[in-house]
Structure 1
Amino acid sequence: MSDLLRRLSYSLTYLTLVSLCAVGMLAHRGPAELGLARRLVLSATLPLQRVVTFPVREGARLWNDYVGLIHVRKENERLRGRVGDLELENLQYREAIVSSERFQRLSGFRAKREVPMVPANVVAEDLSPWFQAVIIDQGSASGIGPGMPVITDSGVVGVVVGTTPGASKVLLILDPQSRVDVYIQRTRARGSVRGRSQQDCELAYVLREEDVRPGDLVLTSGLAAVYPKGLVVGEVSRVERLPHGLFQHAELQPAVDFRKLEEVFVILERRHLPADEEFSDDAEGLWPEAKQ
Structure 2
Amino acid sequence: MSRPLLKKLLSWLLILIVFVLFINLPRVRDVYFIARLRSTLVLAVYPFQYAASAISTTVSGSFGRVTTLFGASSENDKLKDQVSQMKAQVLSFETIVQENQDLRRTLGFYRDNPYKLKLLPAQVIAYGGSNLHSTVMINRGTQHGVVKDAAIISAAGLVGKTEEVFKYTSRVLLIIDPASSVSARDAQTKDFGVIEGRGLSPLSMKYVPASSDIKVSDKVITSGMSDIFPPGIPIGEITAAAKKDYDIFQMVKVKPFVNFSKLDQVFVVQGK
* Range of TM-score over shorter length: 0.7 to 0.9
Aligned partners of 1:21 and 1:61: how far apart in 2?
40
Is 1:267 matched with 2:268? Answer: yes
Look up the SS of the partner of 1:254 in the other structure: strand
Contact 2:185 2:193 in 1 (8 A): yes
Q: Quick check: 158-167 or 108-117, which moved more? A: 158-167
Alignment of 1:1-292 (within 5 A): 29=26, 32=30, 35-113=35-113, 114=116, 115-121=118-124, 123-128=126-131, 130-133=132-135, 135-140=136-141, 142-165=144-167, 167-207=169-209, 211-236=213-238, 237-240=240-243, 243=246, 248-258=249-259, 260-269=261-270
Decide which structure has the larger Cα Rg and report it. Answer: 2
Contact 1:23 1:42 in 2 (8 A): no
Q: Which residue of 2 aligns with 1:9?
A: none
Aligned partners of 1:81 and 1:124: how far apart in 2?
35
Aligned partners of 2:61 and 2:191: how far apart in 1?
89
Aligned partners of 2:73 and 2:18: how far apart in 1?
45
Deviations along 1:156-208, one digit per CA (max 9) or x if unpaired, are 11112124455432211122221212233234333322223342223234456
Contact 2:134 2:173 in 1 (8 A): yes
Consecutive unaligned residues in structure 1, runs of 5 or more:
1-18, 272-292
Aligned partners of 1:27 and 1:166: how far apart in 2?
108
Aligned partners of 1:88 and 1:45: how far apart in 2?
65
Aligned partners of 2:21 and 2:84: how far apart in 1?
61
Look up the SS of the partner of 1:269 in the other structure: strand
What amino acid sits opposite 1:38 in the alignment?
Answer: R
Aligned partners of 1:229 and 1:198: how far apart in 2?
25
Q: What is the TM-score of this pair, normalised by structure 2?
A: 0.76
Aligned partners of 1:225 and 1:24: how far apart in 2?
123
Identity, % of aligned positions? 18
1:47–1:100 Cα change, 3 Å: same
Contact 1:148 1:226 in 2 (8 A): yes
Deviations along 1:21-47, one digit per CA (max 9) or x if unpaired, are 988876664552562222111111111
Deviations along 1:94-132, one digit per CA (max 9) or x if unpaired, are 22222222222222222221422314236324332x322
What amino acid sits opposite 2:119 in the alignment?
Answer: P
Deviation of the 1:63 alpha carbon = 1.8
Contact 1:122 1:264 in 2 (8 A): no
Q: Quick check: 204-213 or 261-270, which moved more? A: 204-213
Contact 1:149 1:159 in 2 (8 A): yes
Deviation of the 1:211 alpha carbon = 4.7
Consecutive unaligned residues in structure 2, runs of 5 or more:
1-15
Aligned partners of 1:160 and 1:223: how far apart in 2?
18
RMSD: 3.2
Contact 2:219 2:236 in 1 (8 A): yes
Aligned partners of 1:110 and 1:243: how far apart in 2?
47
Contact 2:182 2:196 in 1 (8 A): yes
Aligned partners of 2:73 and 2:19: how far apart in 1?
47
Contact 1:144 1:266 in 2 (8 A): no
Look up the SS of the partner of 2:236 in the other structure: strand
Aligned partners of 1:24 and 1:70: how far apart in 2?
49
What amino acid sits opposite 1:132 in the alignment?
Answer: S
